[in-house]
Amino acid sequence: MYNTSQIADFLGTSRQNINHYIRQGYLRAIMVDGNYEITQADYFSFRDEYYDTNKRHKKRGIAKKLSDEQISMISNIITDIKNKKMSFDNFKEKYKDKENIIPQIQDFIIYKRDFCIKEDNKNGMKYTDLSYKYGLAEVTIKGIVNPKSKEDF
């Protein structure tokens, strides 16, 4: 088991960056007595899959290599998100089983849902109707349609 300082030394970066990668889910770790511990297998997996040690090409951090299939799918996802004629249900059905290709697919599905909610609201749908249609609490719908700015907190 390695701690975050050791991983930082191995990769030539700061301990804060390693903690960031852990919090973002790129590097698997377990909490032991208030400190993160990383297995050798998790370190090698992170290093090989996400971390670019060649700083000439990437100045910092995460550099996940995407396959042609992933790039094509992300392009299709973005096109479908912008497509106002594609309903949220159709979008969700089309991409729900693609998690093995695009691990972040749930983020895209939520983005499409929020996009559709905002469009439906612009077209005159009420919060209660949106709540029923998308299966979310009315207060959640209001937060999506009218997000609070940082000054409101």
Question: Dihedral of the CA atoms 134, 140, 145, 148 (nearest 10)?
Answer: -160
Regarding whether 79 and 42 lie in a shared domain, the answer is: no
Residue 38 lies in a domain: yes
Q: Are residues 142 and 72 in the same domain?
A: yes
Tell whether 109 is covered by a domain. Answer: yes
In one letter, which amino acid is 126?
A: K
| pLDDT score, position 113 | 87
Please tell me whether residues 29 and 81 are part of one structural domain: no
Q: How many structural domains are present in the chain?
A: 2
Q: Is residue 37 part of a domain?
A: yes
Residue 74 lies in a domain: yes
Q: How far apart are CA 12 and CA 6, in angstroms?
A: 10
Is 94 in the same domain as 131? Answer: yes
Note whether 76 and 127 are same-domain residues. yes
Q: What is the pLDDT, as a whole number, of residue 54?
A: 54
pTM comes to: 0.49
pLDDT values of the chain reduced to their tens digit, one per residue, 153 residues: 889 999 888 888 889 988 888 888 888 888 888 888 988 888 888 887 766 555 433 434 444 566 777 778 878 888 888 887 888 888 888 887 777 676 677 778 888 888 889 999 999 999 999 999 988 899 989 988 988 754 544
57 is a domain residue: no
Query: Is position 63 within any domain?
Result: no
Q: Give the range of the structural domain holding residue 39, as residue numbers without chain letter.
A: 2-49
Secondary structure (H, E, C), the chain: CEEHHHHHHHHCCCHHHHHHHHHHCCCCCEEECCEEEECHHHHHHHHHHCECCCCCCCCCCECCCCCHHHHHHHHHHHHHHHCCCCCHHHHHHHHCCCCCCCCCHHHHHHHHHHHHHHHHHHCCCCHHHHHHHHCCCHHHHHHHHCCCCHHHC
Identify the pLDDT of residue 121. 93
Question: For position 66, what pLDDT does the model report?
Answer: 65
The confidence score (pLDDT) of residue 59 equals 39
